[in-house]
Amino acid sequence: MAKVIDGKAVAAGVVDQVSAASKALEAETGVRPGLAVVIVGDDPASHVYVSSKSRMAKQCGFKSVQHTLPAHTTQAELEALVDTLNADREIHGILVQLPLPDHLDSDAVIQSILPGKDVDGLHVVNAGKLMTGDLDGGLISCTPAGAMLFVRQTHGADLSGLNAVVIGRSNLFGKPMSALLLAANATVTTAHSRTRDLPGVCRNADILVAAVGRPQMVRADWVKPGATVIDVGINRIDAPERGEGKTRLVGDVAFDECAEVASTITPVPGGVGPMTIAMLMANTVTAAMRAQGLKPPSF
């Protein structure tokens, strides 16, 4: 049976490290890291995410600001708010909660955030630095950064000689995850829906990362014995065993059967999920320290 990674425990360790860095920064410079979260509209899931981010920011000792805008907010109004936050020296991180209402251009909004304040790591400057191997100059997208922390804790910082397969090629996760693995010297295959013999490709992976949004797609016979399996999927499926109309969360990996083959595996929920907010906090304190000309800790 595989070792199951406790994402909540690892995330708590990151948050402790962030809190200590935040306290040290304020003691040395008088500056508190500032995080501004912007949410547009009434999407219930987005409001839950934003509330948890704001709570965590306060726990870390940050100045936490939330801007809640109506669903009819215009592109110009939203970008004007971002411009104001860009110019605010007390704000070191800006996060615009996605998805935005359909009439808004999400990419234009993200690209209007100063790269040094883009704590989601989605600006093309930050993406470009990651793709060119500059891991210390930009801000790395939070979910792949969290998943990579699991990989480093399992295999160390140097992945030389290991084969890694990432299922998924999204700009949000798949591509940056592949770049992080490549920067750590893994031999990386980025697989996707057009990949021929996907199960066969996955069976070569010492590190298998699944991020496709298809419930329990990865089966036990896809997994190389002894592999590390990182499940990034979050899918809600029917759970009639819990009662009529009930659901449960599962990943992209069939956990129970794959755990019999892998050496290390992440659960859903409780695996990669908690790391996303923790790494957002890490990016915020990193941005604040860089703004003061200080070297941030490594996470």
pLDDT in 10s for each residue of the chain, 299 residues: 899 999 999 999 999 999 999 999 999 999 999 999 999 999 888 888 899 999 999 999 999 999 999 999 999 999 999 999 999 999 999 999 999 999 999 999 999 999 999 999 999 999 999 999 999 999 999 999 999 999 999 999 999 999 999 999 999 999 999 999 999 999 999 999 899 999 999 999 999 999 999 999 999 999 999 999 999 999 998 888 888 888 899 999 999 999 999 999 999 999 999 999 999 999 999 999 999 999 999 99
Class of the CATH domain delimited by 142-274: alpha beta
Residue 249 one-letter amino acid: L
Start-end of CATH 3.40.50.720 domains in the chain = 142-274
Which positions are catalytic? 53, 97, 120
Note the pLDDT of residue 74.
Answer: 97
Note the pLDDT of residue 231.
Answer: 98
Note the pLDDT of residue 240.
Answer: 84
CATH number of 29-116: 3.40.50.10860
Start-end of CATH 3.40.50.10860 domains in the chain = 29-116
Rounded distance, CA 156 to CA 149, Å? 9
